[in-house]
Amino acid sequence: MSLDAQSPKAIELPSLLESCEQRIGYVFSDKNLLQAALTHASGAQHRLASNERLEFLGDAILGAVVCEELFHLYPDYLEGDLTKIKSIVVSRQSCAKFSESLGMEEFLILGKGMTTHPRVPSSLLSDVFESLVAAIYLDGGDSAARAFLKMHIDTEIELAAIGETGSNYKSLLQQFAQREFGTTPAYQLLDEKGPDHSKCFKIAAQVGGRRYQAAWGRNKKEAEQRAARNALSELSGETAPFPSDD
């Protein structure tokens, strides 16, 4: 649960920070940086003690890392194509989704009254993710920040690229299956793992009586797209790009 900075529960701060470190997979040398990253302006003694300055830096770091990843991943894309993908990956919606996947709403340090809201606004979740990126950068350097970001942005880049280039593998597989076999693909959920706030799903595509290589995804939509791509690759005599532990 979020911490009310004005409540007696503020004594629980060290435990909150430790739990957050376990969740994000990074231990801070300077705990004050983590505390600042988690502190909304409503819970700070003054604006300079909030996460607003860290958010400013984190936004720039996120943009730079995403741009470099896109530059290397898609050498044949023009500037306009790269810009479209970047805008999706660094959007407030994506940053809020990254925070939600980590369950960051549990660690926010908010002002009196903010903790009574039934749901943390997505804008706060977006801000705290960017602040966290900056805090990790300042504490552990460029490599630590990049390692943290890559855990979240790689899949988002792939999904954004699929959407922007029109490579909807489920649609392509459906067209192929109807044309060649007169049937529609089915998708089977084979397994799932992870905590409720960060589940992964294993899904396989089936065309007719044949089930193709299953694929893991961070959500069902992603897993189905990857499973469809696996099926298309196998139907073309190629190796499935998303092997699972089948």
Give per-residue pLDDT as tens, 202-245.
999 999 889 999 999 888 888 998 999 899 888 888 888 888 76
Average pLDDT, the chain: 86
Give one DSSP letter per residue of 15-81, joined into a string: HHHHHHHHHHT---SSHHHHHHHHB-GGGSSSGGGSSHHHHHHHHHHHHHHHHHHHHHH-TT--HHH
Q: 186, 206 in Cβ contact below 8 A?
A: yes
Strands, E, within 117-199: which ranges?
A: 186-193
pLDDT category, 1, cuts 50, 70, 90? very low
pLDDT attached to residue 167: 59
Each residue's pLDDT tens digit, 137-188: 999 999 999 999 999 898 888 878 776 555 578 888 888 888 888 999 999 9
pLDDT attached to residue 129: 97
Catalytic positions: 59, 130
pLDDT category, 2, cuts 50, 70, 90? low
Q: Which helix (H) or strand (E) holds 95?
A: helix 92-102
Q: Which of 15, 13, 8, 2 is nearest to 120 (CA)?
A: 2
Buried b (16+ CB within 10 A) or exposed e, 1-20: ebbbbeeeeeeeeeebbeeb
pLDDT attached to residue 194: 86
Dihedral sign for Cα atoms in the order 166, 60, 146, 136: negative
The Cα 1–Cα 139 span in angstroms is 25
The Cα 216–Cα 193 span in angstroms is 10
pLDDT category, 27, cuts 50, 70, 90? very high
Tell me the residue type at 138.
L
- Kindly state the tokens that stand for 160: 């954004």
Q: Whole-model pTM?
A: 0.65
